[in-house]
Amino acid sequence: MTLRIRSAVPGRARWEIPEILDRPDFALELARVLVGHASLASVAVNALTGRVLVHFDKKTPLAEVEKILHEALHLAREAHALRKHDPASAPAETGTSSSPALPAGKATTARTQPLFRLFERSQHHRRLFTLTLATTILDRAFDAAPSLMISAGLDIVTRGPQSSIARLGFKSTASQLSVLGAASLGAWTLDSATGYAHARLSSRLANVVQHDLRKDVYRHIQTLDLAEFEGRQMAEWLSVLQEDINRLEEFLKEGIDPLITILVNIIIVGAAFVTTYPPLAAVQFLIFPAIYYVSAEFLGPIRKRLIASRRAQALLDNLMVGNLSGLATVLGFNAQEREASRVEQASLEFVASSDEATALSSAYVPAIRTVAGFGFLTTLVWGAGLVVRGRIAASAYNFLAYTSLRLLGTLGWIGLALNQYQRTMVSLERVLNVLDKRPTILSGPRPLPTERVVGDLVLDNVVFGYTPEHPVLRGINMHFAAGKTTAIVGSNGAGKSTVLKLLLRFYDANAGAVRLDGIDVRELDLADLRTSMALVSQQIFLFAGSIRDNIAYARPDATMAEIEWAAKMAEAHDFITAMPAKYDTDVGEGGSRLSGGQRQRIAIARALLSQRPILVFDEATSAMDNETEAALQRSLREATQGRTTVMVVHRLSTARNADYIYVLDAGVVCEQGRHEDLVAQNGLYASFWRIQTGEAALPAPPSDPSGSSSPAS
């Protein structure tokens, strides 16, 4: 059986489909097929729980929807099989930036209900959720106990033998008071117990949901294309991972409470009024359509302003994080004042947008209270009249007035609660948007364990551009022979680093193919492909921690002897042992306590220790002095024996040692060969060589366009 119905009411049904459980790709395929269906209003497919929730027209028979689901499953299976076979057939909508899991259109309803989606995701905490809800409701219900007890006391005082307690069989005043005392004690005890349980459970629920979401978002972010990170500021990711998820936690801990309180109070007040004097209840309930009307007028505009305010906050965060990480540049250019003004301006814009949102939400609270005040006023005046005419007891009037007042108080919270709810939903949507993003670089089906990698790399007529209108590589052919060292040289922006990014499949070629050992890299298992290569990138990243930990990052199980071997090969051992704490030296945040050349040597040691068959160096020695670099070249010759090494270099004294050299110019290979041949060709490489060896004069600085002579002349 492929489908199992879990629940169904007219217009809504939930199925369990074990086939999609833990198979997000397949679930996505199913969602794609379903959301295009004209008979369905909305669809939510959850691979975590293996469930599918469908909203449809109440008149559509359930059997018909089930048939649609069967057909969709069939289509999804076919599409999924095709996709596995040919990953390139992934539709455009799964593409780069903000493409959601469920495409636009019919899924809008499901997608615009972030809280609903959160509950779908958190199904495995259903027990905790139910318990939390139950204790919250009980806690709020017991809150009404004091006014009930006071009314019961008043009942004993004013009606004696006719009081409600007397009617239970307690004739004497003493016994009635004892019952009242015992009931009060019991109610208080239960109130305290449910209060404690509610506080503990709601906090636990908020923590686990927050933890799950943070963990899932973080894991998911790591699966996304590198393009997502190169095109977006880091602070944006951080604000989703931190602020947005924290806001959700706050809401689960404190925001749901008022909403439940309001609901419980409405039920208590409703019950009290209906049982005491129904016409009074009818008048009380007349305020709710009015509240609904006021809410409808306010909530849409409030939401829009909240979104604008959150965006302004994200911009401000980006600016501050960016500035602080580039503080040395800001100080170096003495631009503190300029940057402080930019931050001030962004902060003012945030304050203004936040003010706008608050202005509206603040007006909303009094508007609701004014409407709700009519309910209390009616109870106070009409209720008093009813007591005077003997229609209701004074104690009942007391209870009604109290509960009505409580309702008035809590309705005032509606504004605050909905305000917090709206803010949380804006944040939750941002979190879910990240989870909806899909990588375009998908793993291929063919495994290639590291021990089977020969290391022969080919770029076959590769065309690539980060954007379609700006091609960076224009049909290049390259061969990085197994076990050999190949250098790529060329001027800035020629496309050298881009070649390396294609080797590691950070991006896919727009045309042509990249092959490892004769296999198109798109067919290879992505983890296997990347595990076959050790990259030392232009921007070295060291983790805060010791030198030893940083070198061992590639192989946490490496012995100290192996770590030292790698450090010696990378010409790092001497400077490390000269430091007071040697291999235990703390490198600081991002390696900030080391010099650029030292950081590069640690990164090379890390790559060598990894023992991967292919080494990819992107200007890995650019910050080293000539002497260290020359020594490193000698060591590398030994350490890279039998491994394919691809290195992007600017220093031609480094390229000179390579077995083969490619010269890139504006995205095409303009020359290739061994150093001596290239020098003999007397082309671009030879001109670079002459400049670097001082045989050619450097180009003269541009002459002053005004024609005035320089001060020196």
Ligand X SMILES: Nc1ncnc2c1ncn2[C@@H]1O[C@H](COP(=O)(O)OP(=O)(O)OP(=O)(O)O)[C@@H](O)[C@H]1O
Shortest CB 650 distance to ligand X, Å: 7
Q: Which is nearer to ligand X, 136 or 654 (CB)?
A: 654
Which residue in 252, 248, 261, 255 sits closest to 136, CA to CA? Answer: 261
Q: Which is nearer to ligand X, 496 or 573 (CB)?
A: 496
Q: Which is nearer to ligand X, 528 or 618 (CB)?
A: 618
Q: Which is nearer to ligand X, 469 or 627 (CB)?
A: 469
Phi, psi at residue 453, to the nearest 5°? -75, 125
Shortest CB 568 distance to ligand X, Å: 29
CB-CB contact of 287 with 266 (8 Å): no
What lies within 8 Å, CB to CB, of 552 at 6+ separation is: 558, 563, 606, 609
Shortest CB 228 distance to ligand X, Å: 10
Shortest CB 291 distance to ligand X, Å: 51
Q: Which position has the token pair 């192989």?
A: 555
Shortest CB 462 distance to ligand X, Å: 13
Q: Which is nearer to ligand X, 496 or 675 (CB)?
A: 496
Q: Which is nearer to ligand X, 228 or 523 (CB)?
A: 228
**Angle formed by the axes of helices 278-325 and 256-276, nearest 10°:** 180
Q: Which is nearer to ligand X, 22 or 230 (CB)?
A: 230
Shortest CB 540 distance to ligand X, Å: 14
Shortest CB 647 distance to ligand X, Å: 12
Q: Which position has the token pair 């947008």?
A: 353
Shortest CB 260 distance to ligand X, Å: 48
147-151: Cβ within 8 A, 24+ apart = 147/398, 147/399, 147/402, 147/403, 147/406, 148/187, 148/399, 149/180, 149/183, 149/184, 149/187, 150/398, 150/399, 150/402, 151/395, 151/396, 151/398, 151/399, 151/402
511, β-bridge pairs:
463
What are the Cα distances from residue 465, in Å, to 462, 495, 647, 674? Answer: 10, 10, 21, 28
Give, in degrees to the nearest 5, the angle at Cα 173 between 170 and 178: 70
Q: Coil, strand or helix: which one is 638? A: helix
Cα–Cα distance between 4 and 404 in angstroms, integer?
A: 46
- For CA atoms 689, 691, 692, 693, the dihedral sign is positive
Cα–Cα distance between 630 and 304 in angstroms, integer?
A: 61
Shortest CB 495 distance to ligand X, Å: 4
Cα atoms in the Cβ-side hemisphere of radius 13 Å centred on 634? 7
What lies within 8 Å, CB to CB, of 207 at 6+ separation is: 249
Q: Which is nearer to ligand X, 226 or 686 (CB)?
A: 226
Contacting positions for ligand X (CB under 6 A): 230, 466, 472, 490, 492-498
Q: Which is nearer to ligand X, 498 or 644 (CB)?
A: 498
